[in-house]
Structure 1
């Protein structure tokens, strides 16, 4: 090996969980190249997930090695195979792409001699372990979020009108945030009258300082979280559940369901008649 491109990668959650850092990876790779008289042709620093190869720095590096005029043996170095990929299927595909252009991917802490047939077994292990870790972590996260929802807790980013807060013991919760909470109360009350349609009310709320895109506005006026109900989505053999929330509701359940009747057309909406009178100047 005479030369190599260095690839260092870390995602935000890995920095928090394992203390990975780009400078540390880079320093170790540079020392390895120095000790083995390897010319460093470039360093690519990635702050991105390894679930696939749609990563800015990886794409840039791949385009460079593809565009080289001489197709002599080239190398891409990284610390471990989990820096390369956390999806075994995509990893093998990328290894094949690199092989076609005479480029070899290598992990200095988990070296593989591709000339030895049995080495493919170790490669499979190195690639499978990170994917297994990701799958287990995702499952644990899902289980934890469902448990929290069943307990009536909001586990996502606070919706419009609320703010994310934490108890002294670290438990997170949401609480009404002013003036957005008052504007959301006004929005639901206006919708319940049926005098104006949802888009008109969204624009009226905007004049009050309430910024919300049309698609998101439709989602939030359908969300029972505002009347103190948490939705637990269906999963495997469990049906959808509606749980009484621990947070303070902004509106009553009666008002929320009244608004849903208007939106579903189960309650006469006078917005069309009002608009027609204005258009044709009907007294």
Structure 2
């Protein structure tokens, strides 16, 4: 090996748990290269998860490898195989891509001699262990969150209208946050009245200062956390509602009333109600030109909307509606 690119990687989570650091890895690799008289072609420092290869510095390194796809063999050095990848499927795929450009990935603490067929067994072990660690850690985290929820605590990211806090006992929870909490409470009451379209209520809520998208607004209306209940997914796949320790924004009765409104087909909308109340003669007035019944609608003017009775299908008959 005459030259090599150095790749050092750490995730923020690993820095907290294991004390990994980029300078420490880099120093060890540089000493290795000095001892074996290896020319360092470049150093790529990554602060990113290794669940896949969609990483900024790795992409930059891979682009450099492809750019210099000459007859010369190339090498990439790192400390251990978990610095390279924590997903065995993606790891093998990337090793194949590197081989296409005459490039070999090597871990100085876990050396593999690719010329020996049996060495692929050790490579499989080196690549599988980090993936198993990730899976176990994710499962432990998921179980911890579930246990907390079953106890009535909400350890996840607080929904809009709440904020995450560490309570006096050192455990995490959520508390109401204004002005968002007040606006969301108002929105629940408006939806429960069933007098206006939900999109209109959302627009007014946005004007009041609630910054969220349409899909986010509907998720808020469906979220039982606002009524003091925490949904917990069990091993069986079923969902259980647990009484939360946090202060509810609305009552359970109001939440259930809102679910009834948004989960059933609405018989009327405010727009239809306005049209019916304004154009109550539309079934009785006959067009003087074509003898058909006139329709009613609003025409947008420069300052406001104006009501008219009008005909259809090319007939230009239009009669202004008097407003008392």
Task: Tell me the alpha carbon deviations over residues 174-195 of structure 1, each in whole angstroms, 9 at most, x when there is no partner.
Answer: 0111121111111111111122
- Residue 232 of structure 2 corresponds to 232
1:202 corresponds in structure 2 to 202
- CA apart distance, 1:168: 2.9
**In structure 2, C-alpha distance between the alignment counterparts of 1:276 and 1:25, rounded to whole Å:** 72
Q: For 1:32 and 1:169, locate their aligned partners in 2 and report how far apart those are by CA, in whole Å.
A: 48
Matches within 5 A, 1:64-143: 64-143=64-143
Q: Deviations over 1:143-193 (max 9, x none)?
A: 112222222221211111111011233200001111211111111111111
SS at match of 1:221: helix
Does 2:252 match 1:253? yes
Q: In the aligned structure 2, how far is the partner of 1:276 from the partner of 1:256?
A: 30
Higher relative contact order (CA 8 A, sep 6+): 1
For residues 82 and 69 of structure 2, the distance between their equivalents in structure 1, rounded to whole angstroms, comes to 30
Residue of structure 2 in register with 1:163 after alignment: 163
> What residue ranges of structure 1 are gaps of 5+ in the alignment?
none
> Do the aligned residues in 2 keep the contact of 1:158 with 1:174 (CA within 8 Å)?
yes
Could you give the per-residue CA deviations for residues 207-260 of structure 1, whole angstroms, max 9, x where no partner exists? 21211111111111110110011111253x242111111111000111111111
Aligned partners of 2:91 and 2:198: how far apart in 1? Answer: 47
Residues 262, 269 of structure 1: 8 Å contact kept: no
RMSD across aligned C-alpha pairs, in angstroms? 1.9
How far did residue 269 of structure 1 move? 4.8
Residues 79 and 107 of structure 2 are in contact (CA less than 8 Å); yes or no, is this contact kept in structure 1? yes
| 1:272 alignment partner in structure 2 | 271
Give CA-to-partner distance per residue, 1:88-108, whole Å, 9 cap, x none.
121112112212221010011
Give the Cα–Cα distance (whole angstroms) in 1 for the partners of residues 234 and 215 of structure 2.
Answer: 23
| Pair 1:49–1:275, CA change in 2 (3 A) | farther
* CA displacement at 1:275 relative to structure 2: 5.6
> Highest Rg: 1 or 2?
2
Counterpart CA distance in 1 for 2:218 and 2:17 is: 36
- Give structure 2 stretches of 5+ with no counterpart: 279-296, 299-306, 308-320
**What does the per-residue CA deviation read over 1:65-119, in whole Å, with 9 as the maximum and x for residues that have no partner?**
1121423110001110000011112111211221222101001111112222232
| Distance in structure 2 (CA, Å) of the matches to 1:230 and 1:152 | 7
**2:69–2:101: 8 Å Cα contact kept in structure 1?**
no
Q: Which runs of 4+ in 1 moved over 6 A?
A: none
TM-score (norm: length of structure 1): 0.93
**1:50 matched to which residue of 2?**
50
1:7 is paired with a residue whose SS is: strand
**Distance (Å, rounded) in 1 between the aligned partners of 2:156 and 2:274:** 38
Distance 1:97 1:29 in 2: 23
